[in-house]
Amino acid sequence: MDWDSFARWGNRIVDMARDYRTSLRDKPVRAQTAPGAVYNALPATPPDAPEPMEQILEDFQRDVMPGLTHWQHPRFFAYFPANAAPPSVLAEMLVSALAPQCMLWQTSPAATEMETRMMDWLRQAIGLPDGWHGTIQDSASSATLAAVLTMRERTLNWTGNSAGLPGQAPLRVYSSAEVHSSIDRAIRIAGLGQDNLVRIAIKGAWRGMDPDALDAAITADKAAGLQPAGVILCVGATSVGATDPVADCIAVARKHDLYVHVDAAWAGAAMICPEFRHFWTGVDGADSVVFNPHKWLGANFDCAAHFLRDPEPLVKTLAIQPAFLKTHGVSGIVDYSEWSVPLGRRFRALKLWFLIRAYGLDGLREVIRNHVTWAEELHNAMEADRDFEIITRPMWSLFSFRYAPDGAEDRDALNLRLIEAVNADGRVYLTQTNFEGQFVIRFQAGSFETTREDVMMTLDVVREVAGRL
């Protein structure tokens, strides 16, 4: 393809993107395709001869589009959001065309220096102290893995990387039962063994970890000759938004000299609004914090903001520094590939620069505040409806409920049927979770295109579909 054709097709694709984003309300949110439909529509063998772009785009519209679940749909209320706001999309288009490899400072100084600056903007935006540093990871899972590896090496006095773990007393990491599966993964991959992820009992309205139980578990492990290594706290867990009492848990961890990592993958974005920061009071005592601008803040996937009170232990854990990669002699140079598991790095900071400037923090705060307000309103309307039972109250824009009309017998089965029918209807998309052994339905508002009407329509749709069951 020559570059004049590139520009022509590029313009077509930008128009397609606009048409797609502005017509989402007319489409069912969840893909309605049968398994195998897309696979079978694609030719079994690759073409030997070049094919015209016109044909490729036509096939895309016909065979691929129907198989997409519309994450940018204004009535996407499932899981957590994965926004891609227009300025961020534009930055990503630019990045994919410039295509720099940003593993070292010298392989693209602008990418490294913008990353340093953007992470400092975000640090200020969410109210972390001056002096903290940050880097952009591909996902919260990677940041958490890096944190667990740091816990391991710090506990083993940086001998684990060379000697491995044989002969070591088990290393123990503590979290509540509400944390994301990425924590289990990190423990497995770091070689600690999942049995050494200790689940601490939950206490209180936010369903957070009980600090006294944390203290008791660490003390018992020490007495048993095990090696406590770190604590992973959660602010806004995936299921129903469970949030640990950050300050109290950190005080316990400090008493035992343990590394503390805070997973705020979803809710961290809300901390750009000062009124939500009471949910993580004391976070400045943690060692690392991760939140995903690629969820609620509007940056395209992937963009996980990983903050460190002191990057030294992380870099000491991950850097290998083969001589050919070394950037010598210049002070202030950072090679962010030493802060993460993968070597290669995309220019991810550019989308933050575009996004934060195009909206301003006030614009982004307004988006988040609206979602929280509207979710609260929907919650209130559901609570007033006798056929519904609120299971967990809103944590930011997330709450859970059950359909529980008088006389309904097997409520798990009824709600399973309801959610299937709602998602087949397609006007809204909801997902379920397990809460204390019950099947419950989650609602979260987080799409940049969502309006109050979109949110409030959920109750009408759910009521109507339930009436047909």
Ligand X SMILES: *Cc1c(COP(=O)(O)O)cnc(C)c1O
Comparison of 140 and 465: residue with beta carbon closer to ligand X: 140
CA–CA dist 264, 246 (Å, integer): 11
CA–CA dist 261, 259 (Å, integer): 7
Binding ligand X (rule: CB under 6 A), the pick from 182, 243, 423, 447 is 182
Which amino acid is present at 38?
V
By CB under 6 A, residue 292 contacts ligand X: yes
Give the CA distances from residue 365 to residues 4, 64, 291, 361, 430, in Å, rounded to whole numbers and listed in that order.
40, 35, 16, 6, 24
- For residue 442, the minimal CB distance to ligand X (Å) is 12
- For residue 302, the minimal CB distance to ligand X (Å) is 7
Site size with ligand X, rule: CB under 6 A: 13
- For residue 101, the minimal CB distance to ligand X (Å) is 22
- For residue 289, the minimal CB distance to ligand X (Å) is 12
Identify the CA nearest to 446 among candidates 303, 302, 298: 298
By CB under 6 A, residue 147 contacts ligand X: no
Distance of CA 59 to the CA centre of its chain: 32
- For residue 367, the minimal CB distance to ligand X (Å) is 18
CA–CA dist 242, 236 (Å, integer): 5
Residue 136, class by beta-carbon neighbours within 10 Å (0-12 exposed, 13-18 middle, 19+ buried)?
Answer: buried
Binding ligand X (rule: CB under 6 A), the pick from 114, 187, 213, 237 is 237
Within 26-85, which residues bind ligand X (CB under 6 A)? Answer: 80
Comparison of 286 and 462: residue with beta carbon closer to ligand X: 286
Maximum distance among all Cα pairs of the chain, rounded to whole angstroms: 76
- For residue 174, the minimal CB distance to ligand X (Å) is 16
Residue pair 252/214 in contact by the 8 Å Cβ criterion: yes
Comparison of 441 and 466: residue with beta carbon closer to ligand X: 441
Stretch of 101-109, 248-256, 258-266, 371-379 lying at the interface with ligand X (CB under 6 A): 258-266
Stretch of 116-124, 224-232, 259-267, 360-368 lying at the interface with ligand X (CB under 6 A): 259-267
Which strand (E) or helix (H) includes residue 189?
Answer: helix 181-189
By CB under 6 A, residue 266 contacts ligand X: yes
The beta strand positions in 258-345, using DSSP E, are 259-263, 288-291, 304-308
Interaction site with ligand X (CB under 6 A): 80, 139-141, 180, 182, 237-238, 263, 265-266, 292, 304
